[in-house]
């Protein structure tokens, strides 16, 4: 059954990111499901033939490595987990390379860490690489670089759902499709007979509180909660996202035909610029600046800059040009911005009028602590 809204979204989508989860690509034994990988490649090829750019964000490296090494439990030791991912990544890419070549297509592996997208220059370099691959007809296959990502260094995306959302923002994708082992978001536990699929979500906050029922296993890190986090990123950036069952035959073809498949998360704002997307979702905050009520309203309602007089507290060790969280007096995040001053300088001038910055610091390169052009709500 087709849906007019879905048809319009599918028709307008010229650049699509598809994320496929571990539980779609592997069987219960952890081995790669080669038939499913072949079928996925065929659908991606057909999307390309239809004149659309497509990027694949693929999980499965750890699961593939576990299968190849005969492991039944996901390693808890970080170095062992990274070693398993290294083994599995080779096996995974070997299969992708083979199946895409069967359709006379070339695939390219792109491994990322969160740090690659934190720095603005690195962000643009990755973006240019992906766009260049698309321009010459190559399908980029993106995965987190599990062999070097380390939680302690805060260089991990956490799961590939968030990575897919960041990649979508990075390349300005019109639609993100997350393929999981469930048919979408449900209004109750998926295994209960009374549970129904929710075809459309406009309010993610409400859906997160009422309808998240995760089922974790040893192979994958993501769950429905992480998918809703990804949907929050995508819809806030002004684009659409669909969660659907990747084990269903021709699911991507059905989605792009406008059929009522999975759960559609509707964009909740106008499309955000590439610069704002980087600042809001990819740049890692180094600290926070708290504002009084008047300053919060000036920023959120009037599009104003952040002046020293409205600052009530400073936290973290940031330097000029770093991203910082902009919070209210209760600690709620209202925006992110790039600071014109170091944390120690902001600490000295907080609560002071701008004309007192010079006498306090001995210099005043900027009137604004964070200029409005460098703020993303």
Find the CATH number of the domain harbouring 354: 2.30.130.10
Domain boundary among 276, 306, 334: 276
More confident of the two residues 273 and 209: 273
Q: Is the pLDDT of residue 294 over 50?
A: yes
Domain residue limits at 15: 4-276
Task: Looking at the structure, tell me whether residues 199 and 216 fall in a common domain.
Answer: yes
Measured CA to CA, the distance from residue 242 to residue 276 in angstroms comes to 23
Q: Is the pLDDT of residue 215 over 70?
A: no
Token readout for 106 is 């070339």
Give the model's pLDDT for residue 155.
41
Domain boundary among 249, 276, 303: 276
Task: Looking at the structure, tell me whether residues 108 and 167 fall in a common domain.
Answer: yes
Nearest one of 297, 186, 328 to 245, comparing CA atoms: 186
Nearest one of 122, 222, 134, 200 to 173, comparing CA atoms: 134
DSSP strand pairing (15-20 vs 53-58): parallel
Q: Is the pLDDT of residue 370 over 70?
A: yes
Q: Is the pLDDT of residue 328 over 50?
A: yes
Give the model's pLDDT for residue 30.
67
Give the model's pLDDT for residue 121.
87
Collapse the DSSP code of 60 into the 3-class scheme (helix H, G, I; strand E, B; otherwise coil) and give the result: coil
What does the pLDDT look like over 115-124, one tens digit per residue?
Answer: 888 888 899 9
Percentage of the chain beyond pLDDT 70 is 90
Instruction: Choose the weakest-confidence range: 104-108, 195-199, 365-369.
Output: 195-199
Q: pLDDT-derived band of residue 268, with 50, 70 and 90 as boundaries?
A: confident
Q: pLDDT-derived band of residue 219, with 50, 70 and 90 as boundaries?
A: very low
Task: Looking at the structure, tell me whether residues 271 and 327 fall in a common domain.
Answer: no
Give the model's pLDDT for residue 221.
45
Give the model's pLDDT for residue 256.
95
Q: Is the pLDDT of residue 242 over 70?
A: yes
What does the pLDDT look like over 337-364, one tens digit per residue?
Answer: 999 999 999 999 999 999 999 999 999 9
DSSP strand pairing (333-338 vs 375-376): antiparallel
Give the model's pLDDT for residue 70.
83
Task: Looking at the structure, tell me whether residues 291 and 271 fall in a common domain.
Answer: no
What does the pLDDT look like over 141-176, one tens digit per residue?
Answer: 998 875 555 543 334 555 789 999 999 999 999 999
Q: pLDDT-derived band of residue 139, with 50, 70 and 90 as boundaries?
A: very high
Mean pLDDT, the chain, whole residue set: 87
Q: What is the CATH number of the domain that holds 9?
A: 3.40.1160.10
Domain boundary among 258, 276, 294: 276
DSSP strand pairing (263-265 vs 311-316): unpaired
Token readout for 181 is 């082992």
Measured N-to-C along each axis, helices 224-236 and 204-211 cross at an angle, to the nearest 10 degrees, of: 170
What does the pLDDT look like over 165-209, one tens digit per residue?
Answer: 999 999 999 999 999 988 999 887 777 778 888 999 988 876 665
Number of domains, the chain: 2
Measured CA to CA, the distance from residue 281 to residue 298 in angstroms comes to 22
Task: Looking at the structure, tell me whether residues 257 and 291 fall in a common domain.
Answer: no
Helices (H), the chain: 4-12, 22-25, 34-49, 61-69, 78-101, 114-118, 120-135, 160-171, 204-211, 224-236, 251-256, 274-277, 293-300, 343-349, 357-361
Q: Is the pLDDT of residue 64 over 90?
A: no
For the whole model, what pTM was predicted? 0.85
The C-alpha angle 124, 128, 134, rounded to 5 degrees, equals 145
Concatenate the DSSP letters of all residues of 204-228 into one string: HHHHHHHH------SS----HHHHH
């Amino acid at each position: 059954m087709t849906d007019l809204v879905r048809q319009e979204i599918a028709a307008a989508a010229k650049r699509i990111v598809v994320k496929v989860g571990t539980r779609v690509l592997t069987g219960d034994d952890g081995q790669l499901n080669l038939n499913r990988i072949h079928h996925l490649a065929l659908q991606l090829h057909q999307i390309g033939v239809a004149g659309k750019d497509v990027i694949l964000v693929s999980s499965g490296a750890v699961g593939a490595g576990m299968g190849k090494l005969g492991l039944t439990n996901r390693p808890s030791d970080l170095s062992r987990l990274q070693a398993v991912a290294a083994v599995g990544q080779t096996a995974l890419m070997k299969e992708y390379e083979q199946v895409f070549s069967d359709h006379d297509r070339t695939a390219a592996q792109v491994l990322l860490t969160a740090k690659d997208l934190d720095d603005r220059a690195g962000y643009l370099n990755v973006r240019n690489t992906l766009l260049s691959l698309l321009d010459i007809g190559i399908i980029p296959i993106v995965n987190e670089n599990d062999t070097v990502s380390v939680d302690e260094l805060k260089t991990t995306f956490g799961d590939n759902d968030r990575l897919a959302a960041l990649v979508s923002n990075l390349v300005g994708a019109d639609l993100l499709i997350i393929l999981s082992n469930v048919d979408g978001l449900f209004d109750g536990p998926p295994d209960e007979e009374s549970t129904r699929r929710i075809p459309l979500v406009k309010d993610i906050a409400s859906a997160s509180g009422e309808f998240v029922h995760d089922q974790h296993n040893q192979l994958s890190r993501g769950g429905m909660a992480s998918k809703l986090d990804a949907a929050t990123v995508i819809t806030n950036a002004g684009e659409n996202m669909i969660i659907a069952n990747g084990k269903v035959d021709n699911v991507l073809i059905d989605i792009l035909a406008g059929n009522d498949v999975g759960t559609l998360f509707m964009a909740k704002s106008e499309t955000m610029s590439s610069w704002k997307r980087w600042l809001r979702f990819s740049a890692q905050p180094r600290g926070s600046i708290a504002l009084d009520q008047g300053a919060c309203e000036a920023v959120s309602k009037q599009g104003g800059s952040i002046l020293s007089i409205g600052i009530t507290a400073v936290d973290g060790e940031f330097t000029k040009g770093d991203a910082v969280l902009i919070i209210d007096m209760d600690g709620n995040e209202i925006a992110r911005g790039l600071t014109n001053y170091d944390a120690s300088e902001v600490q000295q001038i907080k609560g002071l009028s701008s004309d007192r910055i010079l006498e306090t610091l001995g210099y005043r390169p900027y009137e604004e602590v964070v200029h409005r052009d460098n703020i993303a709500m």
